[in-house]
Amino acid sequence: MTSELPMVVEEDFPLYVVADEESGGVLVAAEEVEGFFVDPGEEAPEVIFLRAHEVNMGRRRSEDAVLRIVNRRREKIGEYLIGRVVLGDVGKESSDGKISSVPYRFFGDRCEYPGAARIWRRWALAVAMEKGEWLQWPASHHGAWLHVVQNAWFASNHRAVRYGADDVVHLDGAQISTKPGFFCALGEAVNGPGGYFGSNLDAMADCISSSFREGSQMKIVWQDFRMSQESLGRAFVDSVMEVMREFKVDVAIC
């Protein structure tokens, strides 16, 4: 498994768009953000948007703001419900027409995965995910990758069900070293690269039960099962198997 972050192409499109949810009006659209993707307990007073392409100076606050992640085609790929925001002192406009910094006071929750910002930029390129791409990221980023997968899945109006058509899905236990990595691997196996099929045991159970209500059946071939037990712990793997048995998922252990 890699310990280095993959190279991500930087492009100068507004990745982050804050809008008033009720009116739909854009408050700010910027290329980068500081202070939103942070470790719990490390929140700064303000969230600062950098290299802003658009700022609504006529509306300095919103009680029901939403932060949208958009790709290079301005299509929404992710979303965070923010709540109240208040505009601070805006920076100067540069020669290319962009505003250097746009600070907002955020009163709602922020994303607790610092690594998600870089991963969102990869998703925003609007280039199809490759199989096993999540494995290019270090194990410390598996939780952030899973967070982006889950957020993007529902932001794109997918449901917590199985979309894949294969009767048999394969899990490679030799590649799974973390619990978030297990759900990354399971989501990809069931729903293809970038696919979601649960982010914890309860969510996995919801996905399985919903898929069965849709008339879909599934067999999982879990290769290198013992390596998964060693990496993830027997208690966690036993809990996974218990959920599978509860919903009569056929699991072949190799």
On whether both 248 and 137 belong to a single domain, the answer is yes
Q: Which pLDDT band, with edges at 50, 70 and 90, does 123 fall under?
A: very high
Residue that is last in its domain, among 66, 83, 117: 117
On whether both 101 and 170 belong to a single domain, the answer is no
Burial class (CB in 10 A: 0-12, 13-18, 19+), 97: exposed
Which domain covers residue 238, as residue numbers? 133-253
Question: Residue 223, SS3?
Answer: strand
pLDDT single digits (tens) 55-110: 999 999 999 999 999 999 999 999 999 999 999 999 999 888 899 999 999 998 89
On whether both 104 and 192 belong to a single domain, the answer is no
Which amino acid does the sequence have at 107? Answer: F
On whether both 107 and 154 belong to a single domain, the answer is no
On whether both 160 and 109 belong to a single domain, the answer is no
As for how many domains the chain has, the answer is 2
On whether both 107 and 204 belong to a single domain, the answer is no
DSSP-derived secondary structure for 77-141: EEEEEEEEEEE-----B-TTS-EEEEEEEE-S--BS-TTHHHHHHHHTT--PPPTTGGGGS-GGG
DSSP state of 167: S
Q: Is residue 245 part of a domain?
A: yes
Q: Is residue 229 part of a domain?
A: yes
CA 103 to chain centroid, in Å, comes to: 24
CATH of the domain at 221: 3.30.370.10
State residue 164's pLDDT score: 83
Alpha-carbon torsion (143, 148, 153, 155), positive or negative? positive
